[in-house]
Amino acid sequence: MSTFDGFELLHTYNENHLLIKCKVRDLFNKNVVNWQYNRPPDLVRCGEIAKTIYTKHPELDWLLYMITIENAPNILHVIDGIHRYTALHIIQTECSKPIDFITPSIFTNNTDWLCKLYDKTVVISLRMNATTGEAIDLFQSLNKCNPVPELYMINSNYDKRNIIENVVKEWTTRYKTHFTATQKPNVPNINRDRFIDFLDTAYEKYKITNNTSYLLLEKIDEMNNYVKTHIPIKTPVKALEKCNETGCFLFLIKREILEDHIISLFTTA
């Protein structure tokens, strides 16, 4: 299938920059990937978007930003909109599951509604044959108002990214209820991007390498245990109750304080 099957041209900015629209079902049939320097989708945020779409049935009045690159014209790289795109896939996946009476979900296999969803239109700003520099400029201009972790500001250290992302995956799975899409969450919660920033600082502080990658998770767990035995004064009762239930105490302390003081208490072996 051609990259442009199912696409309708709305406007031509120039020969390599098009404004197009397509149905959700046609977009699902394309080879769509997250741009290599973009953040992995925050599944907490994606889940919230999916629930909103499923329960409120809004129009998808979005503008997704995508590029194709030289030598790979049939792959659409998402520069901006990966959370909304992933949310649609969550709906598709969840609605196709058999009914589970033990752990019921808000999503059900409503064929009529799904057909209507797949027929909805999304708009895409598509830059074709984009160079790395052009993609970076676009990415940075789109994220000026939404701080991106330094880790994803065109950092070529893929080993570092993988090590940190593994810790993020471990913690967001283990302490799922402490991660929120809110930019300024209340204790004892944290935004995933800000957690990545914290891990980035810890990574540099401990001089983590591939050979010592295990230390990053160990140190974060040590910090968590330290906070558990040094509960901050005036911690809200409900916050402490949640921490006792989940075992996650680290986010009772603001990230800035963690970076400035707690990390210094722990040195690599």
Q: What is the pLDDT of residues 127-186, one digit of tens each?
A: 999 988 888 888 878 876 556 666 666 556 778 888 998 999 999 999 999 998 787 888
- Give residue for tokens 């649609």: 88
Highest mean predicted confidence (pLDDT) among 146-150, 167-171, 207-211, 260-264? 167-171
Instruction: Report the pLDDT value the prediction gives residue 134, as an integer from 0 to 100.
Output: 86
* Range from 41-45, 226-230, 245-249 carrying the lowest mean pLDDT: 41-45
Tell me the domain boundaries of the chain: 1-146, 148-269
Please choose, from the candidates 88, 82, 75, 87, the residue with its C-alpha nearest in 3D space to the C-alpha of residue 41: 82
Distance from C-alpha of 100 to C-alpha of 132, rounded to nearest angstrom: 45
pLDDT at 1 > cutoff 80? no
Please choose, from the candidates 196, 250, 200, 256, the residue with its C-alpha nearest in 3D space to the C-alpha of residue 222: 250
Taking all residues of the chain, what is their mean pLDDT, rounded to a whole number? 86
Instruction: Report the pLDDT value the prediction gives residue 66, as an integer from 0 to 100.
Output: 95
pLDDT tens per residue, range 74-120: 899 999 999 999 999 999 888 777 665 555 566 776 777 888 899 99
Instruction: Report the pLDDT value the prediction gives residue 152, as an integer from 0 to 100.
Output: 66
Buried b (16+ CB within 10 A) or exposed e, 171-205: bbeebeebbbbeeeeebbbbbbbbbbbbbbbbbee
